[in-house]
C-alpha cells in the first residue's frame, strides 16, 4: 500500500510557497505591487539592472569584483559593494543610510547597517588574526632559537666532556683475571 502525497510533483509544491514579504520589515507588508516594486519612501521603482552587466556590479561605483560580498537592497535589489557601503555609512552615519538607487531609508537602512556591522566585525577579526599570526611567528622563532641554543649548549658541553675524557687515560683493562679460591672443609662442622 503506497501513500499518495497531496501533490504529485514536489518541485511544484516548493514553487507554490506564498510571498510573505520581507522578514526584516517592521510592518510585515509585502513590498511588491502589480505595477512593480514599491518603496515605502517613494513611488514605484523599477528593478535595477535587468540587462545583466549592471545586475552584477555595484550601483554606485560599477565594481563587479567580489559580488558575493555585496549588499543587496531588499526593495530594488540594487547591489552595493562593501567599500561603498562602508563609505556611505561613515559619510552619512548609521541613522541616515539609504539605498543610493531607490532612496529607501527604512528597510534598506536596517539591512545596510547589519551588513556594515558584519563587514566591520570581519575586518576586526582579520586584524586580530593577523596580530596573533605575527606574534606566533615571533614566538615560534624564539622557541626555535632557544631550542637550538639549548641543543648547541648540550653539544658544546658533550664536546667539552669528550675532550676532557680524551686527555685522561682510562684505567687499564687486564688481559687475564687471576682468581684464587680457598677451599673449605665442609666435613668439620
User: Does the pLDDT value for residue 48 go beyond 70?
Assistant: no
What digits encode the pLDDT tens for the residues 115-134?
888 888 888 888 888 877 77
Residue 188, in any domain of the structure: no
Please say whether the beta carbons of 113 and 97 come within 8 A: yes
Residue 42, in any domain of the structure: yes
Q: Does the model's pTM come out above 0.85?
A: no
Residue 149, in any domain of the structure: no
Residue 189, in any domain of the structure: no
Residue 147, in any domain of the structure: no
- Total domains in the chain come to 1
Domain extent at residue 47: 13-112
Residue 8, in any domain of the structure: no
Give the other-Cβ count within 10 Å of 9's Cβ.
Answer: 9
Residue 129, in any domain of the structure: no
Q: Which of 69, 68, 67 is nearest to 118 (CA)?
A: 69
Residue 49, in any domain of the structure: yes
Amino acid at each position: 500500500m503506497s501513500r499518495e502525497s497531496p501533490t504529485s510533483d514536489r518541485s511544484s509544491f516548493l514553487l507554490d510557497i506564498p510571498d510573505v514579504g520581507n522578514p526584516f520589515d517592521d510592518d510585515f507588508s509585502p513590498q511588491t505591487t502589480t505595477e512593480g516594486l514599491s518603496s515605502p519612501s517613494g513611488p514605484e521603482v523599477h528593478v535595477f539592472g535587468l540587462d545583466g552587466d549592471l545586475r552584477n556590479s555595484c550601483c554606485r561605483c560599477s565594481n563587479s569584483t567580489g559580488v558575493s560580498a555585496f549588499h543587496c537592497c531588499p526593495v530594488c535589489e540594487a547591489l552595493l559593494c562593501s567599500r561603498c557601503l562602508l563609505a556611505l555609512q561613515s559619510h552619512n552615519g548609521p541613522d541616515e543610510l539609504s539605498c543610493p538607487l531607490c532612496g529607501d531609508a527604512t528597510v534598506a537602512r536596517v539591512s545596510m547597517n547589519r551588513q556594515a556591522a558584519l563587514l566591520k566585525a570581519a575586518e576586526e577579526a582579520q586584524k586580530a588574526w593577523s596580530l596573533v599570526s605575527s606574534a606566533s611567528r615571533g614566538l615560534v622563532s624564539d622557541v626555535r632559537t632557544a631550542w637550538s641554543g639549548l641543543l648547541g649548549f648540550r653539544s658544546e658541553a658533550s664536546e667539552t666532556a669528550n675532550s676532557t675524557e680524551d686527555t685522561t687515560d682510562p684505567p687499564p683493562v687486564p688481559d687475564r683475571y687471576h682468581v684464587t679460591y680457598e677451599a673449605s672443609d665442609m666435613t668439620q662442622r
